[in-house]
A and B are shown apart, each in its own frame.
Chain A
Amino acid sequence: MSEQQPDPAEVLTPEVVFRDYAPRIYYLAKRMLGNDADAEDVTQEVLLQVVRKLHTFRGDAALPTWLHRVTVNAALALREKRSNRSRRETSTGDDAVLEAGNAEPPGNIRLNRPHPNQTPDDIVLAEEQRVIIDTAMARLPPAYRDVYVLADVEGLPNNEIAEMLDMTLAAVKSRLHRARLQMRELLAPHFEEVAP
């Protein structure tokens, strides 16, 4: 789950793990769960797990893969817990717990394909694009969002996602295709130049 690869020779300490991995865990959880509070719960849980098991890692080559898996599992478990609570509360008349995904994406912004040599204006634009895409992803049904985030944001191969989510490869591909079609619908208003 790395963009900048941590130095493999660096000794793993809680501070190093915090610095190199906490934001990645947080943003993966936030994208899967669609809200800050749940992402914080997952990040805290995963970080405590990794710090407690730190002595079992010899160098950190295996750590990113392990962290992906633990973060995904923690996010799925938290969603399940929230879902069970929501069902109980709904059955007693309390419908305050809502699944994330109702926010409207910002309008009037066009999406541009990424290009190198960014200027400051490009960076502002890239941030606006990030918000649009993250907002659209938060509107996907959770089952589609999981596969979409892992495949198209995190770049995991479909067979690894299938194993991680305990699904068949065919089911992963089917969900990914449907998720992409929904994301396309959500982002289409911003694709003025390439829209049909």
Chain B
Amino acid sequence: MTDVTCDEFVNQLMDFLDDELTESVRIAIQAHLTICAHCGGLMATYCATITITRSLPRCSGPLPARFEEKLRAILAALPNE
């Protein structure tokens, strides 16, 4: 594989980051990155998006108070087994 277009770069970006490309394609992508600032910036923000999303707490806090109260009442009303 020789030259890579910007569209091709975008299409291959996830596989590139996951190291799932053949060596020739990977080298072509790396070559594209050396000459295309736009795709370099796109890759930087793509990676930042992943990093920041992965830093999110899976649980963003306690349950809303009104809902917790309702759930507790439902659980309390269940018959004991």
Q: Which residues of A contact B (CB under 8 A)?
A: 1, 3, 14-15, 18, 22-24, 26-28, 36, 40, 43-44, 47-48, 51, 55, 111, 113-114, 129-130, 133-134, 137, 148, 152-155, 173, 176-177, 180-181, 183-184, 187-188, 191, 194-196
Not counting A48-B78, A114-B55, a sample of 4 additional A-B residue pairs whose C-beta atoms are within 8 angstroms of each other reads A23-B63, A24-B59, A133-B56, A153-B54
Given A18-B71, A18-B75, A48-B74, residue A23 in contact with residue B61 (CB < 8 A): yes
User: Considering only CB atoms and an 8 Å cut-off, how many residues of chain B contact the other chain?
Assistant: 37
- How many pairs of A and B residues are in contact by the CB < 8 Å rule? 110
Residue of B with least CB distance to A191: B45
Contact B50 A194 (CB under 8 A): no
The reply to whether B14 and A22 form a contact with Cβ atoms under 8 Å apart is no
Shortest distance in angstroms between B64's beta carbon and chain A's nearest beta carbon? 7
* B59 in contact with A47 (CB, 8 Å): no
Q: How far is the CB of B59 from chain A (nearest CB, A)?
A: 5
Q: How far is the CB of B21 from chain A (nearest CB, A)?
A: 13
Q: Report Cα–Cα, A111/B50, bound state, in Å.
A: 12
| B contact residues around A22 at 8 Å (CB) | 63, 68, 71
Q: How far is the CB of B49 from chain A (nearest CB, A)?
A: 5
